[in-house]
Structure 1
């Protein structure tokens, strides 16, 4: 395919279409990248590629199986990616309905407030007081919370210790911190199903890990049995016994969710996640060629040989004219991306009678790949002469020897 000609066919609207779809695919890849479903997504892409190749190479059985179970596969995908889909559409709603959130500067903890939080958590660990603290990132957490009580108080050591006092009514729940405000307490969080990561730990650890799996929040959890501080994020958990290490981890977290704005944000955008951008662009270009460029109806002509059904053993074709015919087929461009000449055939129906006969061809005599339609063919008549094969003498028969006698 001529590259320059293809670029001209794309046009301005085509480039806009590809650019927008690249952005959508890139967003989906980045959103799924930090989840365990990323491997499943890779498998789906591979399965889709197999289906496209099977369709182009006219693998009838494989294509039929994929198409028959397409609805089932779609339902399975929705079930597998239900959390990711909820998050994706939630982000779209927030971006479209409240763009001020994009311009609003996120309030993060100052160094002194981070030290206050670290000191309080370490005190909990030393005194073996169970605690679960969720530090909100960019994601909305409201749909993951249950039984929460609104507070909206300033972050302080006294407030946290009063909430997690064993005699407090809400000490078993989680505390939500958004910036430097304690927004909710006594919250119940979704539990993780990957219990192998927390081994012998309790419900607090399962809740902390579960929240990190469905959002970008960072969770601090203190075990009241062992007096150990653990941190969960992006579906992982690690124990922290050094206050300085915990301080650096919290500072890194806030630096990631609220990075320093540089003078050239576009330059930073193009340097970040380069492989994902390349994959998204290639996928968008491939989709455009399949669904837009490939959907254009095209006419092509082919020269194909005339074939016929198997004749009885004693019959043979003495003459056939013409031996090849020209056929014009119509279909979407995608049907012509691979070689289709060998898959277009014409079969003629003959009468088993000796001598010449004229056979008229119809469109039903042609077999073409799925998606193609026979538009025209020439000639319409095939002249065929049938004749019986001559029987050959058996070579193994010995000649008869005749002897004469003289009297």
Structure 2
């Protein structure tokens, strides 16, 4: 009883309900930690790691129950396997962890604060390039000519460019249609477009391991999704079976798009590059820029 009275003492109560002093650094830390936790949870839910996360929660509940009821054998097993389990998680989910770090490096908030390379950019490619791509794509769609066109953005695709045959030609609808014509030497594989030029053809792309992809989609669509998983490129896919035109971007596949949709998407990419002045560290975001992904 005396202990209860001591707890109810005015001084102790004032300490218990006192509002802690919060400094500016505390607020900044809370914001940063909240931001990190949010993106970790968002990343976990969009990958196979979500099932792993739910499994970890189940194991945590089992460990809690074992601790409450003094189940020493179970606690001993947990204590001696946790280190091995962490290493196993890192090995099994290495592709997802690598992808998460790549996505972190491509985030716009980094580009809006620090410019890693001094450069002066205008439009990424010309209106002529857009018109040529659209004309070629939908002409091939009419004749059910399969095509895979990868348009490079900020992330360089040199690694995949080396797997193909150098072309270095100005983008035109005639060249695009000729490359993907049946039984021609360059029709198999993907082409990579950088600015206003086709830099390489017959390039090999990584296949997506997304188990949610429809079973009626073939290797061409999986390759388009695969390159969008590891880069910020936009990939245009023409189906050889149906003639349908699809877009792969950011790990997502948008199927059966029309000319207007494709033109709007390419114009968004065209205007997306940021003008950077030399020696300028802090940059404001572009006005009226909308994320249409």
* Aligned with 2:138 (options 112, 122, 126): 122
How many residues end up aligned between the 2 structures?
262
Is it true that 1:222 corresponds to 2:233 in the alignment? no
Structure 1 residues 100, 235: CA separation in 2 closer, same or farther (over 3 Å shift)?
A: closer
With structure 2 as the length reference, what TM-score do the two structures score? 0.65
Partners of 1:213 and 1:235 in 2: CA distance: 5
**2:7 alignment counterpart:** none
Partners of 1:106 and 1:73 in 2: CA distance: 50
Equivalent residue runs for 1:48-197 within 5 Å: 50=61, 63-89=75-101, 100-101=116-117, 105=121, 107-143=123-159, 147-194=163-210, 197=213
Indicate if the aligned counterparts of 1:219 and 1:232 stay in contact, CA closer than 8 A: yes
Q: Which runs of 5+ in 2 are unaligned?
A: 1-15, 277-282
Partners of 1:21 and 1:74 in 2: CA distance: 22
Structure 1 residues 47, 195: CA separation in 2 closer, same or farther (over 3 Å shift)?
A: closer
State the Cα distance separating 1:227 from its structure 2 match: 2.1
Partners of 1:29 and 1:101 in 2: CA distance: 31
State the Cα distance separating 1:28 from its structure 2 match: 4.7
Q: Which runs of 5+ in 1 are unaligned?
A: 273-407
Structure 1 residues 22, 200: CA separation in 2 closer, same or farther (over 3 Å shift)?
A: closer
State the Cα distance separating 1:42 from its structure 2 match: 5.0
With structure 1 as the length reference, what TM-score do the two structures score? 0.49
**1:309 alignment counterpart:** none
* Aligned with 1:43 (options 25, 37, 54): 54
* Aligned with 1:251 (options 248, 267, 271): 267
Equivalent residue runs for 1:313-352 within 5 Å: none
| Structure with the higher fraction of residues in strand conformation | 1
Secondary structure of 1:197's counterpart equals coil
State the Cα distance separating 1:188 from its structure 2 match: 0.8
Partners of 1:48 and 1:179 in 2: CA distance: 51
Larger RCO, structure (CA 8 Å, separation 6 or more):
2
Structure 1 residues 267, 83: CA separation in 2 closer, same or farther (over 3 Å shift)?
A: farther
Structure 1 residues 100, 252: CA separation in 2 closer, same or farther (over 3 Å shift)?
A: same
Is it true that 1:237 corresponds to 2:253 in the alignment? yes
**2:280 alignment counterpart:** none
Indicate if the aligned counterparts of 2:121 and 2:274 stay in contact, CA closer than 8 A: no
State the Cα distance separating 1:204 from its structure 2 match: 1.3
State the Cα distance separating 1:173 from its structure 2 match: 1.1
Structure 1 residues 197, 45: CA separation in 2 closer, same or farther (over 3 Å shift)?
A: same
Partners of 1:267 and 1:55 in 2: CA distance: 56
State the Cα distance separating 1:186 from its structure 2 match: 1.4
State the Cα distance separating 1:73 from its structure 2 match: 2.9
Indicate if the aligned counterparts of 2:63 and 2:78 stay in contact, CA closer than 8 A: no
| Structure with the higher fraction of residues in helix conformation | 2
State the Cα distance separating 1:72 from its structure 2 match: 3.9
State the Cα distance separating 1:247 from its structure 2 match: 1.6
Partners of 1:267 and 1:54 in 2: CA distance: 54
Partners of 1:91 and 1:242 in 2: CA distance: 29
Indicate if the aligned counterparts of 1:128 and 1:224 stay in contact, CA closer than 8 A: yes
Structure 1 residues 230, 16: CA separation in 2 closer, same or farther (over 3 Å shift)?
A: closer
Secondary structure of 1:71's counterpart equals helix
Indicate if the aligned counterparts of 1:136 and 1:176 stay in contact, CA closer than 8 A: yes
Partners of 1:23 and 1:116 in 2: CA distance: 42
